[in-house]
Amino acid sequence: MFITTNVHVPQKNTEPIILEYLEHGDTGEAILAFDEIPFGSKRFMIPVIAVEIAMDHKPSHREMTSVLVSDLYGRVVTQKDIGRAFDMLLKNLSDLILDTPDAPTVLGNFIARAIADDCLPPKFVQSYKDKVECDHAR
């Protein structure tokens, strides 16, 4: 289940790139492919779709997705894009749990990795302190 269906983005082009990356592990190819798609202000959707797909896959694919997000940073997406992506994922966590019961832990791991890889500042987590409405995101 993808929570992004109501957002206009070239998802039909993004999904195959991510799935191909998970099959071959070549971030360079993924970067080149993403550069060819005119995302405009929707570029933040790349990490959203990547994380959503990874949640339905095995742990090694989740790790590969963290590597992809890190490699996309500064080349395809900005820190602001990654922050917006995780904002959207956190806001839709209750929907993600329907297909992936351990989504809170998995998403937390993605956020922690993005911080460790300097794709997000540590203050990203602090900005949610005492402001989260979803019990699963606390």
Give domain 11-137's CATH architecture: Alpha Horseshoe (1.25)
Q: C-alpha angle with apex 34: 28 to 37, nearest 5 degrees?
A: 150
Rg of the chain (C-alpha set): 14
Q: Are the C-beta atoms of residues 11 and 45 closer than 8 Å to each other?
A: yes
pLDDT of residue 10: 62
pTM value is 0.87
pLDDT of residue 13: 86
The number of residues in the chain equals 138
CA torsion angle 43 12 101 56 (round to 10) = -110
Sign of CA dihedral 50, 55, 56, 62: positive
pLDDT in tens, the chain (138 residues): 444 444 554 678 899 999 999 999 999 999 999 999 989 899 999 999 999 999 999 999 999 999 999 999 999 999 999 999 999 999 999 999 999 999 999 999 999 999 999 999 999 988 876 555 655 555
Q: Which two tokens stand for residue 132?
A: 């989260």
Q: Are the C-beta atoms of residues 103 and 93 closer than 8 Å to each other?
A: yes
pLDDT of residue 5: 45
What would the pLDDT profile of 79-95 be if each residue is shown by its tens digit?
A: 999 999 999 999 999 99
